[in-house]
Structure 1
Amino acid sequence: MDTSTNSQLASLRQSLESRLSALQAELLAAQRARGAAQDEPEAGDTKDLADRLQHDELDEAQVHRELGAMAAIEAALRRVDDGSYGDCIDCGEPVGLARLQLLPAASRCAACQGLHESRWSRRSE
């Protein structure tokens, strides 16, 4: 990592750990809310049922996003521990402090991230 003083690395680690804790709390709250919703009586008509199904789908998408974010953060923390944090996983060049401060779980430099995203967008066409 080109940036790193120990205090910068400690600050980035703290950002990662704080975000991970927040995501874990959000997932726990969502699980509790789903449990409470399942205890509610079934919807009365098709509009109520459609609303509930749509809400469930949105909840599921949110959980999926949060799990993905948690996986990225956990991977970043492993890179901190093994000394590779801040190095692009594709080209090996430094990611850059400004990018890491904005996105502490970033695993790629901006150039490689752009290439990665363009490859994925072509696959989905």
Structure 2
Amino acid sequence: MTILNATQREQLRATLEDRKEVLLQELEAVQHSHLRQAADPDDRVVDDPEEQAERLTGEVLSDAEARRDHDELVLVRAALARMAEGSYGLCIDCGKAIAVPRLLAHPAAARCIACQSQFEK
């Protein structure tokens, strides 16, 4: 089983819950921004090519950040689900305990270092 004590588990749960809320707020802000842009298409019309390029770059970056936030939110929710079912802190591949320092650094970690390294190959 995992070697987390009750205090560490509660701290990690709180960290995951806080991160979930931040990610949800960021995704909601992007959604509102897209809705505002869709509601006023005339606002998007720009004649200056340099300004068009800057606007497009900003939109691409915003979309990339939203995708990253969404992917992280999926991991955070999965970690909270594992916590609720009692398997948090155990590697989803090998079933061994994930090192506490790894969980403290990356609370949504689902794999031990060895399995994560293998997964990334």
Q: Which amino acid aligns with 1:115?
A: Q
The TM-score normalised by the length of structure 2 is: 0.88
Q: Which amino acid aligns with 2:45?
A: E
Indicate which of 46, 70, 73 corresponds to 2:73. 70
Q: Percent identity?
A: 37
The answer to whether residue 119 in structure 2 is matched with residue 116 in structure 1 is yes
Query: Offset of 1:28 from its aligned partner?
Result: 1.7
Query: Offset of 1:113 from its aligned partner?
Result: 0.6
Gaps of 5+ in 2: none
The answer to whether residue 20 in structure 2 is matched with residue 17 in structure 1 is no
Structure 1 runs of 4+ with >4 Å offset = none
RMSD between superposed Cα atoms in Å: 1.5
1:58-108 C-alpha deviation (Å, 9 max, x unpaired): 111111000000000000000000111000011111011110000000000
Count of equivalent residues: 118
Gaps of 5+ in 1: 119-125
Q: Which amino acid aligns with 1:65?
A: R
CA gap 1:82/1:45 in 2 versus in 1, 3 angstroms = same
Q: Distance in 1 between matches of 2:52 and 2:16?
A: 39
Alignment of 1:1-125 (within 5 A): 1-37=1-37, 39=40, 40-118=43-121
Query: Offset of 1:37 from its aligned partner?
Result: 4.6
Q: Distance in 1 between matches of 2:44 and 2:18?
A: 37
Tell me, what secondary structure is at the counterpart of 1:80? Answer: helix
Q: Distance in 1 between matches of 2:3 and 2:120?
A: 25
